[in-house]
Amino acid sequence: MPPPLSSTYRPRWDRALALVALWALLILGIPGCEGGAPQGETPEGRSADSSAGGVGADGTPAAETAWGDEANPWELDGLPAVDAGEPEALLVQLEARAEALADRPYHPPPETLPGELEALGYDAYRSLRYRPDAALWRGLSDFEIQFFHPGFLYTTPVRIHEVTEEGISAVPFDPRAFAEDSGEPVEPRDVEAEAAISDLDWAGFRVHFPLNDPQVRDEVAIFLGASYFRLLGQGHAHGLSGRGLAVDTSGEADEEFPEFREFWLVRPAREDDRLLLFALLDGPSVTGAYRFDLVPGDPTIMEVDARLFARRQVEVMGIAPLTSMFLFDEATGPAFDDFRPRVHDSDGLLMWTRAGEWIWRPLSNGPGLQVTSLQDTDPRGFGLVQRERRFDRYLDLEAHYHRRPSLWVEPLGGDWDAGGVELVEIPTESEFHDNIVAYWAMETPLPAGERASFRYRLRTFDDKLEEEELGRMARYRVAWDALPGQADPPSRSQRRIVVDFHGGALEEFGADGRGWESVEAELGVSQGEVSGLRLEPLPGGRGMRATFHLVPNGSAPADLRLFLHHDWERLTETWSYHWIPGREREALALTGNAAARSPGGGR
């Protein structure tokens, strides 16, 4: 059998609160983001019964300089031009542009937003809705582009260019392309205000395509805020987000949020079912040139080609980052006074190693900020998954958590060498906070002046990938290892752990007559002692339950790994769980205590 992957844990209590607060801003409202079905537009402009969505604030780092009367140093004078006649040549030019930008000192985006827009509140910003009849490519293609107005949390100017057979042209900001809730176009109050607004750029954009109905153009992708984006497959509601890049999310330095500063949108032909996008990334430590090849459907697929340049040494560079939310589920105990049994956008991290091992790590919410690294070289893939798809496991008619997408990252080429899938879990008390981050982290830092490139495919799915053939973890529970009425019960820290597996190769094994008695379990623990391991078939013969005891090593966390096999032929994925001392005390303390608990309702 292959050796187990190593995991490391670096609790960062000092940064937990700050990071949760930041992701709270990143998830809060853009127009129409109520967590329901995607917004749609019929070709005639009739609004479908659904809602828009998007990701949060731009996460701009604190400004390093103030411009005053000085010209904005980020202006593109002297950078290589992007004037490719063919889209295939555009990435090469954009790569040269990013490399030249990395040789310059970093300067944050210019502060050109009028104070009136910067001061917009949540409700006022939500009222600024892009008019469907003003969409880019309307009537020319099944794809349409709608834009976001700058203001509220979205203050970074984003330049948009259109690429056609005739060349490249700017898509200038147009305030009259927006209507307030009344339906009337937005009009500046005076000539001076009109001049100020006309000089602005967009905040971001969203892509519409007939995803669920040939007559309805649904949202399939949204780019808004720093390098954040969202993808939707058929039948999905807005959930987790992707990012172009994560920088120092888990390192000692403060996290950076590099930004997509410019986009080039290649106009598709009327019959095209794929959309080609390019972007320029800029940040304090990294610049980059990106190509996105988007194909909506079931699944929606987006291939990414990222070419990165280090301005200064990057200690932790997160490739293909995914951001999600996990508040609680049935296995985490009675910590929330809520009528819903589950509240999360994703319930686990799935990884497929180069050696062929499938690893499933359930997500958690505290205590403390936890960073886990599942190490590998050139992995086959990883993703954040919403496995539970049944409404009755959530009971939420507003948030539709049972329809949140899962997202898989499949490396295609580039510098996917030694490193690890890093999972960051930030404690939170609110479902409005995106507190889960997963990405590929290079084993060694990227030095200043060096470059790296990564090609990968993003794929939406529901609960299971086609490649998964093994049995999977169905449920697990961790509880006090004491019997009812026991006269001399063990310490509260001693745990009884139950893990159920079913489906896949395990189910086939049970049906072929060999019997459950030849199934064995492989159990490992990093700290403490495990004992009493036993296997029993589940009712109906569709799976097996593994039960064992854990005696912890004082206050040390325990990393547990468990899978089932027959003669070392794997029958199931590996259940990977990080037990943290204090969780049982936290659950006891919160039982019956209504303070600091999440109210019912959806986001």
Residue 135 predicted with pLDDT over 90: yes
Instruction: Give the per-residue pLDDT at 137.
Output: 97
Cα–Cα distances in Å, from 346 out to 140, 323, 337, 408?
Answer: 37, 9, 20, 12
Cα–Cα distances in Å, from 453 out to 135, 290, 306, 352, 364?
Answer: 33, 10, 6, 21, 32
CATH 3.90.1150.10 fits 13-63+80-461, yes or no: no
Write out pLDDT tens, residues 460-475.
999 999 999 999 999 9
What is the mean predicted confidence (pLDDT) over 390-409?
A: 96
Write out pLDDT tens, residues 524-541.
999 999 999 999 988 877
* Range with the poorest average pLDDT among 4-13, 121-130, 374-383, 561-570: 4-13
What is the mean predicted confidence (pLDDT) over 416-445?
A: 94
Residue 206 predicted with pLDDT over 70: yes
Q: What is the DSSP string of 71-93?
A: PPTTS-TTSPP---SSHHHHHHH
pLDDT-derived band at 583, boundaries 50, 70, 90: low
CB 560: neighbour CB atoms within 10 A? 24
Domain ranges of the chain: 13-63+80-461, 472-590
N- to C-terminal Cα distance for the chain? 44
Instruction: Give the per-residue pLDDT at 186.
Output: 62
Residue 70 predicted with pLDDT over 90: no
Candidate CATH numbers 3.10.129.10, 2.60.40.10, 2.102.10.10, 3.30.2040.10; the one for domain 472-590:
2.60.40.10
CA 204 to chain CA mean position, Å: 18
**Rounded to an integer, what distance in angstroms lies between the CA atom of residue 254 and that of residue 316?**
11
Instruction: Give the per-residue pLDDT at 109.
Output: 84
Write out pLDDT tens, residues 221-251.
999 999 999 999 999 999 999 999 999 998 7
Residue 512 predicted with pLDDT over 60: no
Write out pLDDT tens, residues 139-169.
999 999 999 999 888 888 999 999 998 889 9
Comparing CA positions, the residue from 213, 171, 293, 240 lying closest to residue 434 is: 240
Q: What is the mean pLDDT of the chain?
A: 82
Instruction: Give the per-residue pLDDT at 597.
Output: 31
Residue 397 predicted with pLDDT over 60: yes
CB 579: neighbour CB atoms within 10 A? 21
SS3 562: strand
Could you give the percent of the chain with pLDDT greater than 70?
79
Write out pLDDT tens, residues 13-65.
344 444 444 434 434 444 444 333 334 444 333 333 332 333 333 333 333 33
Instruction: Give the per-residue pLDDT at 123.
Output: 83
* Range with the poorest average pLDDT among 41-45, 198-202, 281-285, 406-410: 41-45
